[in-house]
Amino acid sequence: MAKITIQNLTKQFGSLVAVDDFNLTIDDGEFITLVGPSGCGKTTTLRCVAGLESTTSGQVMFGDHDVTDYPVQQRGIALLFQDIALYPHMTVQDNMAYPLKLEGQSKEQRYERVREAAEMLQIADQLDKHPSELSGGQQQRVALGRSIVREPAMFLFDEPMSDLDAKLKHELRPLFAEVTEKVGCPTMYVTHDQEEAMTMSDRIAVMNDGELEQVGPPEEVYDEPTSSFVGEFIGRPNMEFFDAGIEQHNGTMDLTIGDAVYQVETSEALTQYAGGNVRIGIRPQDISIADDPDEGVTGEHVFDETLGDQTHSLFDTPLGRITVVTPPRFRGNGKQYGLQFDTGAIKTFDPKSGLRID
Ligand code: ATP
């Protein structure tokens, strides 16, 4: 097993650039999730790494081997898709053992390997059943088992849980992470579900329109988005964005957002925007409410989404509708409140490019 290096990968379909100069290294044992909206190029990237799609330019290296022109069968990878595709006439044991049978391993060797994998996946008591007798979650465990018996060079997962319900996803997420860690090869996992990306990955790679926008550990991508696109895509409820005027004032910068003025620390980068405008982003978790409507941005309470451990409350303001994470039992009762932004949590972005300023 060795690290995977993707260098300057570009894939075009006619004039459409689906993947644009993509660079990423996945270390041995590392779990990286490609995340982004529909059509941003995640699946195409994965298919190029798998060898299911030819590349227009660029290289895919497994360790020191350039595998760019290898067909999928020669890459020794484990592939798992949303479509589970088990053989219906075979038992779970035979489904899982099938790749080893193709390799010519003896029955004893095959079944020994399958037993180990089945125990890891907690399906050891299901080995004599047929796929139709299993739940969707169990079937996906069998498919995962079939992919790990061969000790792959790499795991490539394309939305393997998108057909499963929320409870099953919750059960399977730690299992995917645990099993891939035990096997120890690099993993590339594709999803459009940012929650899946946040909870399973060592690093998240956020894609936008064919390009890699940001790569980093989940908490870094969440805390320090390098663009408004990433800030909006990662984290729920969504980051709120506003246009703000910016003025330099002694040692600080004044950000004017609607009627409210917030002072933030000055920086060299931010100074360039003084006298103009910036786009600011703030997470609903970093907005608090005051009973006095004049403290901060005035907001009329509209609705509370009660989630048990927290409440997401909606307010209509002169800046538009704003979501605030309010205390668990909060009830706004349609009154007016002051919405206060935690100045330390405000992120500033270039109004044109969306790139992070500070
Ligand atoms: P989703 O989450 O919806 O699967 P994605 O991020 O995986 O989206 P891709 O499937 O990689 O996106 O598609 C990227 C772009 O390439 C899209 O515009 C898509 O229409 C286009 N595309 C993908 N495959 C082909 C193909 N075989 N021929 C032509 N265009 C394609």
Cis peptide leading into residue 237 (ω within 30°): yes
- Ligand 1 neighbour 11 (Cβ under 6 A): no
Ligand 1, atom 18: closest residue by C-alpha: 39
Residue of 11, 20, 40, 188 to test ligand 1 pocket, by largest number of atoms within 8 Å of CB: 40
Residue 321 pLDDT exceeds 90: yes
Closest-lying ligand 1 atom to the alpha carbon of residue 45: 11
Round the average pLDDT of the chain to a whole number and report it: 94
Alpha helices (H) along the chain: 42-50, 92-102, 107-120, 136-148, 166-183, 194-200, 218-223, 228-233, 268-271
Q: Identify the pLDDT of residue 84.
A: 81
Distance of CA 39 from the midpoint of ligand 1 (Å): 5
| Nearest Cα residue to 253 out of 224, 293, 280 | 280
ipTM > 0.95, yes or no: yes
Distance of CA 40 from the midpoint of ligand 1 (Å): 7
Residue 154 pLDDT exceeds 90: yes
- Ligand 1 neighbour 235 (Cβ under 6 A): no
Q: Identify the pLDDT of residue 106.
A: 93
Please tell me whether residue 274 adopts helix, strand or coil conformation.
Answer: coil
Please tell me whether residue 279 adopts helix, strand or coil conformation.
Answer: strand
- Ligand 1 neighbour 40 (Cβ under 6 A): yes
Ligand 1, atom 10: closest residue by C-alpha: 43
Of 43-47, 55-59, 132-136, the poorest mean pLDDT is in: 132-136
Set out the domains of the chain in order of their start, with CATH numbers: 4-233 (3.40.50.300), 240-349 (2.40.50.140)
- Ligand 1 neighbour 41 (Cβ under 6 A): yes
Average pLDDT over residues 188-217: 96
Higher pLDDT, 164 or 91: 91
- In this prediction, what percent of the chain has a pLDDT beyond 70? 100
Higher pLDDT, 23 or 172: 23
Contacts of 250 by beta carbon, 8 Å cutoff, 6+ apart: none
- Ligand 1 neighbour 15 (Cβ under 6 A): no
Quickly state the pLDDT bin for 144 (edges 50, 70, 90): very high
Task: Look up the pTM and report it.
Answer: 0.92
Ranked by mean pLDDT, the top range of 166-175, 222-231, 250-259 is: 222-231
Per residue in 8-27, pLDDT (tens digit) is 999 999 999 999 999 999 99
Please tell me whether residue 33 adopts helix, strand or coil conformation.
Answer: strand
| Nearest Cα residue to 3 out of 155, 185, 156 | 185
Average pLDDT over residues 53-68: 96
Residue 203 pLDDT exceeds 80: yes
Quickly state the pLDDT bin for 255 (edges 50, 70, 90): very high
Residue 1 pLDDT exceeds 70: no
Distance of CA 34 from the midpoint of ligand 1 (Å): 14
Ligand 1, atom 20: closest residue by C-alpha: 39
Residue of 10, 22, 44 to test ligand 1 pocket, by largest number of atoms within 8 Å of CB: 44
- Ligand 1 neighbour 192 (Cβ under 6 A): yes
Q: Identify the pLDDT of residue 28.
A: 93
Phi/psi at 310 (5° precision): -155, 170
Higher pLDDT, 201 or 82: 201
Distance of CA 154 from the midpoint of ligand 1 (Å): 22
Residue 37 pLDDT exceeds 90: yes
